[in-house]
Structure 1
Amino acid sequence: MTDQVDLSGISLTGYDIQSVDLSGTGGDDDEEADLSLRPVGPGGSPAPNALPIYLQELIERLNGIFGEAAPLKDQASFVNQIAAITRENEIVMAQVDKNPKEQALKGNLPGATQMAVARAMASNNTLASALLKEDRQSLGIMTNLIYDLLKSGGDINLSDLNVT
């Protein structure tokens, strides 16, 4: 079922129609020149604000993992947290650096990823619980920190922390 939309009140402004000498059309003889517009056809126009291919693939992979469990940015932040925790494991990083993907996936990476997910879940739960406890003092401090980050337009630079 298609909806009928009345476009009679819409006008295109800011453009002028000008004569153009098209080479090979006979110059000023407008009757012989074919100036009709040709449609581009289905899919002939790029999607507006099209994402680069690697981002489209990343979004598809995240949706395959999480579905609609959380907003896409939350999913990406969670994956980044898991990757950051896993990077702390020197054995896993050596296996990833020195082996092809198939071999690294047979090493310590799967177990390290599972442990990173468990650690992230526990630490996020603990942190969220600390912020939402009844006295609300922690939430006030967090709100001030978030204000400062929003105002500065930045994030906490994790590489500056150098703590484990």
Structure 2
Amino acid sequence: MGKINGERPGASVFLIGRYKVNAPSDIRYLNNQYPGLQIKFFTAHAVKGMTCDYTILLDIDSGILGFPSEMADDPMLNYLLQEGDGFDNAEERRVFYVAITRARYRNYLIYNEHQPSKSIAELQTENNLTEQAAIKCPECGGQMVKRTGPYSEFYGCVHYPQCTGKIAIALTNE
């Protein structure tokens, strides 16, 4: 929250969980800590059609109460879809999409790195992040991503330009 407050004081922040049980118990504390921010919790269904400056998606972990939930889709729902869907938990994918498209500026995805949901794994695979996920920035501890500079490829911190941490590709034993 401090980073958001520093970037855009007065910003609206939606904390989004799959279910009401995912609501943080300390939301009043967060509102007191960051009085300039407009912090509210919503479920993924309740936030449909709304927008804010930043979203923080909570509990994007594997499991029934994770986000997306691993509860099986209702067979009736699949029947009602025109030609069915080729994806497991198709409705959950749509709900996840709704949640990640609410922010004007940035999404933050909060998950247990030992139990990430299928959605996190898919995002990492689609964005070629699986190899880099274990590489941490030596300066700030953030995630490193592969970049190409004028002289070579390297890993650079995702927090650039605030953090200028770099690791040469040759040093990562690829």
Length-normalised TM-score, structure 2? 0.18
Larger radius of gyration: 1
Q: Greater helix percent: which structure?
A: 1
Q: Greater strand percent: which structure?
A: 2
